[in-house]
C-alpha cells in the first residue's frame, strides 16, 4: 500500500508539471486548438479549478494501484512496459469514455482526439515511472 | 427715534428685498424647442460587442433590432439636449459567429434571468443640424446589463442619409466588472476572457416631428 501511495505521489508530481506545462505551452503556441473551449459546456467561473489541477494526482494514484495489481502482465524492458501499460489503459478506459463523450456532448473530433492523446501520454509517463520505481 | 427704527427695518429687510430683485440666474438657459420631437428607432439598427480572450478575439452582434422604440427630445437648451426613451435588446439575439461563443456570452450575461439589455438615452451635449456629414457629439446613456445599471458618456457620430434616415453611431469601452459580471475562464484559468469590451451601436432613426 505504501509503495502504491509513494509511486502514485511521485508520478502525480511529474504528471502535474508535464501535463499543465504542456497544456500551458499548447494554449500559448496553438491557440486555435483551444477556441472551442469558450463554451458553457466547460466550467467558466473558476469554482472547480482545484479539482482540475488535482487531476494529475487522481489519475496517478488510480494508475499506481492498477500497476501494482497487474504489473506481472507487462513484460520486457522499462520502456516497453511503460508503453504497453499506457496503451492498455487508453484502450480499456479512455477509448470508451471518449466514445460516449463525443456521442453525447457538443464537442469536436479534434477535442476528443486531443483528450485521448493527452490521456495516453499521461498513462505512458506514469507507466515508465511505475516500471522504474515499482518493478 | 423714528428715523432710527426706519434704518433698522431697512437693514433687516435689505437681504430679503435684494434676493427678490437679483433674480438673474448664474448662466442663462435658453430653451430653443418648446415642443418635443421624436426619433423612431428602425428595425435595421444593430449592436456589436467586441472582446478578446488570451487566445482569440470575438465579435458578437445583434444584427437587427426586433422592436420599434422611440427616443424623445424633451428639451433643447444651451447646456445640452435632454432625451428620454430607451431600446431593449434581447440577449438571446446575440450572434458571435460561433455557437459555443454565442452560448457563452449569453450565459455570461445571465440571459436566463435577465433576457433584455437596456440602453436608456439621457442626454446629448448638443444637437447640431443633422446633415450628410457625420458630426461628432457626446451624450449620456444608462446601460442595464444583468440587472445592473450604469451611466456612461458615449461618443456619437450623427448624420442623415438621402432617405432622411438619421444614423446615430455610438461606441464605448466598458468592462464585465462594471456590471458585476465575471469574465469567463476555462481549463483552470489557462483560457481567460479579458474584462474589457467595446460596445458599438448603430441606430437608424426617422424623425417624426413635433408632438
pLDDT digits (tens, 9 = 90+) for A81-94: 999 999 999 999 99
Q: Is B20's pLDDT higher than 60? A: no
Q: What gap in Å lies between CA B155 and CA B166, rounded to an integer?
A: 16
The 8-class DSSP code of residue A106 comes to S
Q: How many CB pairs under 8 A join A and B?
A: 68
Q: Is B25's pLDDT higher than 50? A: no
> In the predicted model, what is the mean pLDDT of residues B170-185?
94
Within a 10 A sphere around the Cβ of B32, how many other Cβ atoms? 10
Greater confidence (B94 vs B69) lies with B94
Among B56, B103, B193, whose Cβ lies nearest the Cβ of A31?
B56
| Cβ-based contacts of B190 with chain A (< 8 Å) | 23-24, 27, 34
| Cβ-based contacts of A23 with chain B (< 8 Å) | 187, 190
- Residue percentage of chain B with pLDDT more than 90: 51
A108 CB within 8 Å of a chain B CB? no
The alpha carbon of residue A45 is apart from the nearest alpha carbon of chain B, in Å, by 6
- Predicted confidence band at B206 (pLDDT cuts at 50, 70, 90)? confident
Tell whether domain B29-210 is in CATH 3.40.50.12780: no
> What 3-state DSSP class applies to A105?
coil
| Cβ-based contacts of B100 with chain A (< 8 Å) | 36, 38-41, 106
Search chain B and give the residue with CA nearest A39.
B100
Q: Is B28's pLDDT higher than 50? A: no
**Alpha-carbon torsion, ordered A24, A45, B183, A54, to 10 deg:** -10
> In the predicted model, what is the mean pLDDT of residues B188-192?
94
B9 CB within 8 Å of a chain A CB? no
- Predicted confidence band at B131 (pLDDT cuts at 50, 70, 90)? confident
Phi/psi zone of residue A28: left (φ > 0), alpha (ψ -120 to 50 degrees), beta? alpha
Q: Is B94's pLDDT higher than 70? A: yes
B191 CB within 8 Å of a chain A CB? yes
The alpha carbon of residue A43 is apart from the nearest alpha carbon of chain B, in Å, by 6
> In the predicted model, what is the mean pLDDT of residues A108-130?
96
Q: Is A4's pLDDT higher than 50? A: yes
| Cβ-based contacts of A36 with chain B (< 8 Å) | 100
- Residue percentage of chain A with pLDDT more than 90: 96
Report CB contact under 8 Å: B100, A52: no
Give the relative orientation of helices A78-89 and A109-133 as an angle to the nearest 10 degrees: 140
Annotated domain spans of chain A: 2-133
Search chain A and give the residue with CA nearest B102.
A39
| Cβ-based contacts of B103 with chain A (< 8 Å) | 39-40
Comparing C-alpha atoms, which of B67, B93, B80 is closest to residue B121? B80
CB neighbours of B81 closer than 8 A, spacing ≥ 6?
B73, B75, B123, B124, B125, B126, B127, B139
Q: How confident is the model over A29-64, as pLDDT tens digits?
A: 999 999 999 999 999 888 999 999 999 999 999 999
pTM of the model: 0.78
**Grid coordinates of B190:** 489557462
Q: What gap in Å lies between CA B190 and CA A76, rounded to an integer?
A: 39
Comparing C-alpha atoms, which of B41, B211, B28, B33 is closest to residue B127? B33
**Segment among B8-22, B112-126, B127-141 with least mean pLDDT:** B8-22
Q: How confident is the model over B35-70, as pLDDT tens digits?
A: 458 888 887 889 999 999 999 999 999 987 767 788
Give chain B's length.
211
> In the predicted model, what is the mean pLDDT of residues A93-106?
95
Amino acid at each position: 500500500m505504501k509503495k502504491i501511495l509513494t509511486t502514485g505521489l511521485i508520478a502525480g508530481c511529474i504528471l502535474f508539471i508535464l501535463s499543465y506545462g504542456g497544456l500551458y505551452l499548447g494554449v500559448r503556441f496553438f491557440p486555435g486548438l483551444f477556441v472551442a473551449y469558450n463554451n458553457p459546456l466547460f466550467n467558466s467561473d473558476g469554482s472547480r479549478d482545484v479539482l482540475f489541477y488535482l487531476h494529475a494526482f487522481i489519475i496517478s494514484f488510480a494508475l499506481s494501484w492498477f500497476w501494482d495489481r497487474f504489473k506481472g502482465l507487462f513484460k520486457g524492458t522499462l520502456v516497453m512496459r511503460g508503453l504497453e501499460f499506457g496503451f492498455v489503459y487508453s484502450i480499456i478506459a479512455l477509448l470508451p469514455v471518449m466514445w460516449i463523450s463525443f456521442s453525447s456532448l457538443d464537442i469536436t473530433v479534434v477535442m476528443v482526439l486531443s483528450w485521448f492523446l493527452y490521456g495516453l501520454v499521461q498513462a505512458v509517463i506514469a507507466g515508465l515511472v511505475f516500471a522504474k520505481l515499482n518493478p | 427715534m423714528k428715523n432710527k427704527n426706519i434704518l433698522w427695518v431697512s437693514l433687516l429687510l435689505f437681504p430679503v428685498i435684494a434676493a427678490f430683485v437679483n433674480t438673474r440666474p448664474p448662466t442663462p438657459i435658453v430653451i430653443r424647442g418648446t415642443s418635443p420631437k421624436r426619433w423612431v428607432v428602425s428595425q435595421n439598427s444593430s449592436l456589436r460587442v467586441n472582446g478578446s480572450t488570451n487566445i482569440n478575439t470575438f465579435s458578437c452582434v445583434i444584427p437587427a433590432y426586433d422592436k420599434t422604440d422611440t427616443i424623445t427630445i424633451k428639451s433643447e437648451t444651451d447646456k445640452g439636449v435632454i432625451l428620454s426613451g430607451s431600446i431593449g435588446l434581447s440577449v438571446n439575439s446575440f450572434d458571435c459567429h460561433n455557437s459555443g461563443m454565442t452560448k457563452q456570452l449569453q450565459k455570461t450575461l445571465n440571459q436566463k434571468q435577465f433576457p433584455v439589455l437596456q440602453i436608456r438615452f439621457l442626454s446629448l451635449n448638443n444637437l447640431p443640424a443633422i446633415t450628410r456629414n457625420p458630426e461628432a457629439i457626446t451624450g449620456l446613456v444608462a446601460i442595464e446589463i444583468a440587472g445592473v445599471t450604469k451611466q456612461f458618456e458615449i461618443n456619437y457620430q450623427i448624420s442623415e442619409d438621402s432617405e432622411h434616415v438619421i444614423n446615430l453611431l455610438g461606441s464605448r469601452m466598458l468592462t464585465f466588472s462594471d456590471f458585476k459580471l465575471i469574465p469567463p475562464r476555462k481549463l483552470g484559468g489557462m483560457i481567460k476572457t479579458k474584462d474589457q469590451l467595446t460596445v458599438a451601436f448603430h441606430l437608424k432613426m426617422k424623425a417624426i416631428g413635433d408632438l
